[in-house]
Amino acid sequence: MSKATTKKPAGKGKPKRGGKASAKAAKAGGRKAAKSRAKRSAAAGSKAGSATTKNGGRRLRAGELDGLVIGYMRKHKEAAPHTASAIAKGIKRSSGAVANCLGRKEKEGAVQLVGEKPRSYALKETD
């Protein structure tokens, strides 16, 4: 008695794993993906490695927000007292980040809290 063997159609079945050929293909695929990401990044007009915000602005360095907030308050003294959301709209940053900054500046003594609800701040008078 002989057993009948059936051939599988070409291209069907489990893919091979391991071996030198598949390792080379995986490396090449990784390089291709990295090049593709770099091209998309360059096409978007951003430098590789530079972070941007949701609205397209750049990320601020440590302490840079403090300068923006105090600068806005100085420039708009006539509109004092200022809320975090009003300042945030003016400098195009999040109101949460500005509120945290104002809290820090209050502890440092640069601004004073003049209203509880909503929390509003004014620059401290310097003698």
Domains of the chain: 64-123 (1.10.10.10)
Quick one: tokens of 23? 């390792």
Q: What is the mean pLDDT of residues 49-77?
A: 85
Q: What pLDDT, on a 0 to 100 scale, did the predictor assign at position 29?
A: 63
- Whether residue 2 is predicted with pLDDT greater than 80 in this model: the reply is no
- Greater model confidence, 15 or 88: 88
pTM: 0.58
Which value, to the nearest 10 degrees, does the dihedral of the CA atoms of residues 37, 42, 45, 51 take? 50
Which amino acid would we find at residue 85?
A: S
Higher pLDDT, 80 or 39: 80
Q: What's the whole-number mean pLDDT along residues 60-66? A: 92
Task: Name the more confident of 43 and 30.
Answer: 30
Q: Residue 118: is the preceding peptide bond cis (ω within 30°)?
A: yes
Q: Is the pLDDT of residue 46 over 50?
A: no
Contact at 8 Å (CB) between 113 and 64?
Answer: no
Q: DSSP labels for the chain?
A: ------PPPTT-SPPP--HHHHHHHHHHHHHHHHHHHHHHHHHTT--TT--B-TTSPBPPPTTHHHHHHHHHHHHTGGG-SEEHHHHHHHHTS-HHHHHHHHHHHHHHTSEEEEETTTTEEEEPP--
